[in-house]
Structures are given as C-alpha cells and as structure tokens.
Amino acid sequence: MPFRLWEAAKRPGAQLTNAPGTWNFSDLRAADPATAEAFYSAVFGWEIVDLGFAAMIRRPGYGDHLAATVDPGIHDRHAEGAPPGFSDAIGWLGAAPQGASPSWHVTFAVQDRDGIAAAAERLGGTVLSTEDTDWTLAALVRDPQGADFTVSQYSPS
C-alpha cells in the first residue's frame, strides 16, 4: 500500500484548526489497528489511548502548541468532561469496516451541523447519517464525486 510523507518547507500546513471551517480530526481506519499503532507510534511518536469506546491518537504537546498559537482556550474547554489528554488528540484509530479498504477519514469543525448538511445537499452532496453525542453533533457527508467526510459541531452537554 502506498504511503507518503510531506515536509512543510515553505508551506507550513494548517495554520488554524478546530475552528468552524477548518480541520478537526483525521481518523485512521486500519486493516490491523495493532500494526498501525506500532507503526505510527514508532515513526511519529504518536500515542494511542484506548478509551473503551474508541482509541484516541495523541501527539504529546499538541494541545500546548495549539494553546500557544491559535487556540488559547483549548485546555479550558477540555478541563471538564473530555478524556485525559484530549487536547493532544489528532484523530481516532479503529478497524476499517468489513469489505472497505484501509483509509484516513477527515472531520471538519463546523458551527452549525444542520446548516452545513443542508448546504451540502443543495450543492449535490448526500448526508449519509447524523449522530448526536455528549460532545458533538456530527454528519457523515458524501460529496458529488463520492468522497466521504464528517462535519462536527462542538456542542458539549
């Protein structure tokens, strides 16, 4: 399976995250989650934390970086109710669905899940499902070319 890396050089990548309209998470749907955990931990220093309901991918220090650069309130927002280390989360690790190829799945932060879902449908996309959790309102969307992504509204109870 092909694997690529990108070095920032003059294009430093995302300068804003976790705000409406920006990248929120990238979830790895692996053929073998244990092998993926060993690989990404060794190559990138990521930590995988089993929370019982999901496996969180953390990059230690990431939350401190966000707090110092683009998201000064991140630790305060996560102080009550979020799992320990959640400010360092960059994604989730799980098994690829039966019959599906391993892949990364992107989640974008939005301010209004229902408004974004309606806009996606007006523009030719399809809302495949919605989910309300203790922390988010999310919608799985398929764009007109067939790519799936998630939009997530931070909405703690």
Mean pLDDT across 50-58: 92
Mean pLDDT across 82-89: 91
Mean pLDDT across 52-66: 92
DSSP state, 31? S
What's the whole-model pTM score?
0.84
**pLDDT score of 129 more than 80:** yes
Domains of the chain, first to last? 22-106 (3.10.180.10), 111-157 (3.10.180.10)
- 3-state DSSP helix/strand/coil percent for the chain, to nearest 5? 25, 35, 45
**pLDDT score of 36 more than 70:** yes
**pLDDT score of 92 more than 90:** yes
Q: Which residues of 108-145 are buried (b: 16+ CB within 10 A; e: fewer)?
A: bbbeebeebbeebeeeebebeeeeeeebbbbbbbeeee
Residue 125 CA: distances (Å) to CA of 16, 45, 100: 25, 36, 21
3-state secondary structure of 133: coil
- Pair 69, 17: CB distance under 8 Å: no
